[in-house]
């Protein structure tokens, strides 16, 4: 009986929707069915999204300074960039907070080489969030980084992606050696304006989030802007730069769906108009004490 039910599960993607998207005039992105989601059910695909993300209650910090016309940490410090995969756990909130923490330690030279820090420890131990079921407030993982910290991924490796289980908070490393936790010195919500975000990006990568609509699951490349479908939830990601192509301004954003998704693990989103609420809240992490 369970085999029959599984075979009848409705696919998330529809060729009718795909054809409709392909026929939208002047679309700035290319729709398709990403290999990651090919033949996957609605239930499976929606695991990658969180419930709607709540608004920040923190004071905002307006960043002032000079920012170039375009900037990308992928080009500036490629040795510090790593594409991760959250897999079947709704842990984008952890990847988008631990990722910039690790990025910024590497960008600043605090870590001589790019280190992997443990998203699993945050998923299992941050009681201000809800593990594989997501997080409502992005400042919760930022507070966790500041007050508790995380070990390296070598110490506590990522497991929830294969099981979709949050897991118990570990008290030792995987090999039973003592935990060593690395903390941030704090964070600031720098989403006050497009210019503030640009200036902040020259100092480090940013944790941000956006409202996910149906058509985002059809994204393959280009500069995404919402064109079709209802809200599916929220998604937390890492902003790493900005630019412009054929007069269309964009943010460069790192996803946590592995390097085979999108533009080698990244996507671009329309800049300067708060597309899908992407410019509503974004956190710059002061990556070390």
Per-residue b or e along 177-191, where b marks 16 or more CB atoms closer than 10 Å to that residue's CB: eebeebbbeebbbbb
Active-site residue among 80, 173, 235, 282?
235
Residues 6+ apart with CB under 8 A from 105: 111, 115, 182, 287, 288
Q: What is the pLDDT of residue 288?
A: 66
CA distance to 73, 221, 258, per residue, from 52 (Å): 28, 24, 23
> What is the full per-residue pLDDT of the chain (289 aa) written as tens digits?
333 334 456 888 989 999 999 999 999 999 999 998 888 888 888 878 877 666 656 689 999 999 999 999 999 999 999 999 999 999 999 999 999 999 999 999 999 999 999 999 999 999 989 999 988 788 899 999 999 999 999 999 999 999 999 999 999 999 999 999 999 999 999 999 999 999 999 999 999 999 999 999 999 999 999 999 999 999 999 999 999 999 999 999 999 999 999 999 999 999 999 999 999 999 999 976 6
- pLDDT of 38 reads 87
Give the number of other CB atoms < 10 A from CB of residue 241: 22
Residue 13 annotated as catalytic: no
Q: Choose, from 92, 132, 276, 282, the residue flagged as catalytic.
A: 92
Domains, in order of start, for the chain: 7-284 (3.90.70.10)
pLDDT in the model for residue 277:
96
pLDDT at 77: 97
Is residue 92 annotated as part of the catalytic site, yes or no? yes
Give the pLDDT confidence score for residue 52 in this predicted structure: 61
The distance in angstroms from the start CA to the end CA of the chain is 55
> Do 138 and 146 touch, CB atoms closer than 8 A?
no
89 counts as catalytic: no
């Amino acid at each position: 009986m369970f085999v029959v039910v599984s075979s009848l599960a409705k696919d998330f993607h529809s060729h009718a929707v795909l054809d409709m998207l392909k026929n939208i005039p002047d679309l700035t992105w290319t729709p398709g069915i990403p290999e990651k989601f090919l033949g996957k059910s609605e239930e499976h695909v929606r695991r990658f999204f969180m419930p709607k993300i709540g608004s920040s209650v923190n004071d905002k910090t307006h960043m002032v300074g000079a920012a170039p016309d375009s900037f990308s940490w992928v080009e500036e410090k490629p040795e510090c960039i790593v594409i991760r995969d959250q897999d079947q756990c709704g842990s984008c909130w952890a990847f988008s907070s631990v990722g910039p923490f690790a990025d910024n330690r590497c960008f600043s030279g605090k870590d001589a080489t790019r280190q992997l820090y443990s998203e699993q420890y945050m998923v299992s131990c941050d009681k201000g969030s809800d593990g594989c079921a997501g997080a409502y407030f992005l400042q919760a993982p930022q507070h966790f980084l500041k007050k508790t910290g995380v070990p390296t991924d070598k110490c506590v490796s990522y497991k929830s992606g294969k099981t979709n289980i949050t897991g118990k908070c570990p008290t030792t490393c995987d090999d039973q050696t003592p935990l060593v936790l690395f903390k941030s010195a704090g964070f600031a919500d720098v989403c006050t304006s497009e210019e503030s975000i640009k200036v902040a990006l020259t100092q480090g990568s940013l944790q941000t989030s956006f409202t996910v609509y149906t058509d985002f699951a059809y994204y393959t490349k280009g500069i995404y802007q919402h064109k079709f479908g209802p809200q599916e939830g929220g998604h937390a990601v890492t902003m790493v730069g900005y630019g412009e192509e054929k007069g269309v301004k964009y943010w460069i954003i790192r996803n946590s769906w592995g390097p085979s998704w999108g533009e080698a693990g990244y996507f671009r989103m329309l800049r300067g108009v708060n597309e899908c609420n992407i410019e509503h809240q974004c956190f710059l992490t002061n990556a070390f004490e």
